Amino acid sequence: MTDPRVDGNELAGPLREVFAVDITAARCRCAGCGRSGAVAELQVYDRAPGLVGRCPECTAVVLRLVRGPGRAWLDLSGLSYVECAIPES
């Protein structure tokens, strides 16, 4: 019997497709209260070292984005999912 697992490099192509779309049009669900809506509906605070997106319903932090020279950190731990349309190829 062979091992069915492969390493994380298998995600390169599929994730490139997902992260190449306008993510603000994607739907997301707050892990705290369960509200679903477009990423564009989040309340965004930009007066910090990065961007903080909060749920418009319960105000929980659902997204954090911090950029530095040549890199970015993205925390989506406040979301239970992000659903985005991917163009057919």
This prediction's pTM: 0.84
Question: Distance between alpha carbon 51 and the CA centroid of its chain, in Å?
Answer: 13
- 14-38 residue pLDDT tens: 888 888 889 999 999 999 999 999 9
Cβ neighbours for 79, distance < 8 A, ≥ 6 positions apart: 28, 29, 30, 31, 62, 63
What's the confidence (pLDDT) of residue 14? 83
Angle (CA) 28-20-67 rounded to 5° is 80
What is the Cβ-side half-sphere exposure of residue 79, based on CA atoms within 13 angstroms? 22
- 55-77 residue pLDDT tens: 999 999 999 999 999 999 999 99
- Over residues 2-25, mean pLDDT: 88
For residue 36, the 8-state DSSP code is E
- 44-54 residue pLDDT tens: 999 988 999 99
- 69: number of Cβ within 10 Å: 4
